[in-house]
A and B are shown apart, each in its own frame.
Chain A
Amino acid sequence: QVQLQESGPGLVKPSQTLSLTCTVSGGSIRSGSYHWSWIRQPAGKGLEWIGRIYSSGSTKYNPSLKSRVTISVDTSKNQFSLKLSSVTAADTAVYYCAREGYVANWFDPWGQGTLVTVSS
């Protein structure tokens, strides 16, 4: 059973770069059957898709964040990562990683989520 776990700093200063890692267990990130995604949720608000990466390294990003987002993969560690630059208070949110089927385009499973607060 595949499980995902987010990790990274819970506090980031304004204008700095938010960095998170998602560790995949119970399955290989090299599998050609899946994309690996990041989704975020500000407190009390809805869900926003940030972007995804395929095991080959191919990425797609939400245009609303594209200029600030980088998603990368480390297949040797079975991890993928998110970097969001020039953060502001509006980037404060719970960040989730999730698996998306390559042809089965739904998110399952999800990580438990990690709260990142942007504050000086």
Chain B
Amino acid sequence: DIQMTQSPSSLSASVGDRVTITCQASQDISNYLNWYHQKPGKAPKLLIYDASNLQTGVPSRFSGGGSGTHFTFTISSLQPEDIATYYCQHYDNLPYTFGQGTKLEIK
């Protein structure tokens, strides 16, 4: 199985800050990577697909990049409603696996 490692595991930032999360794959997965966030008690929600494509309806302050084994997810200006846990997920082959999550909090 491909292992997905996210960093940091938790992050505290202020409203308006630029926030970046990284996701490292244990092998080359091209751009076969998605990002989700999950608010407490809710299901995950797709934000970015194919590493850098913004899902319809998702605010443009969210962006993704990278390819191969190293990926980034960025919030350009953190908003209070962005408090959630963020997950990366590869789909290079089965079984799909997720990163362990990055919990984002407001300072």
A interface residue numbers (CB < 8 A to B)? 46-49, 60, 62-64, 96, 98, 104-108, 110-113
Contact = CB atoms under 8 A, between A and B. Distances in A.
Contacts of B36: 107
Main secondary structure of the interface of A (DSSP, over half): loop
A120 to B, nearest CB: 27
B23 to A, nearest CB: 13
B95 A47 contact: no
A70 B62 CA distance: 37
Contacts of A113: 43
A62 B89 CA distance: 15
A106 B87 contact: no
Interface of B: 1, 32, 34, 36, 42-46, 49, 55, 87, 89, 91, 94-101
Contacts of A98: 43
B43 A112 contact: yes
Given A112-B43, A113-B43, A47 B49 contact: no
A46 B95 contact: no
A105 B46 CA distance: 11
28 contacts: A46-B87, A46-B98, A46-B101, A47-B44, A49-B96, A49-B98, A62-B94, A62-B95, A98-B43, A104-B49, A105-B32, A105-B34, A105-B91, A105-B96, A106-B34, A106-B46, A106-B89, A107-B34, A107-B36, A107-B44, A108-B45, A108-B46, A108-B55, A110-B44, A110-B45, A111-B43, A112-B42, A113-B43
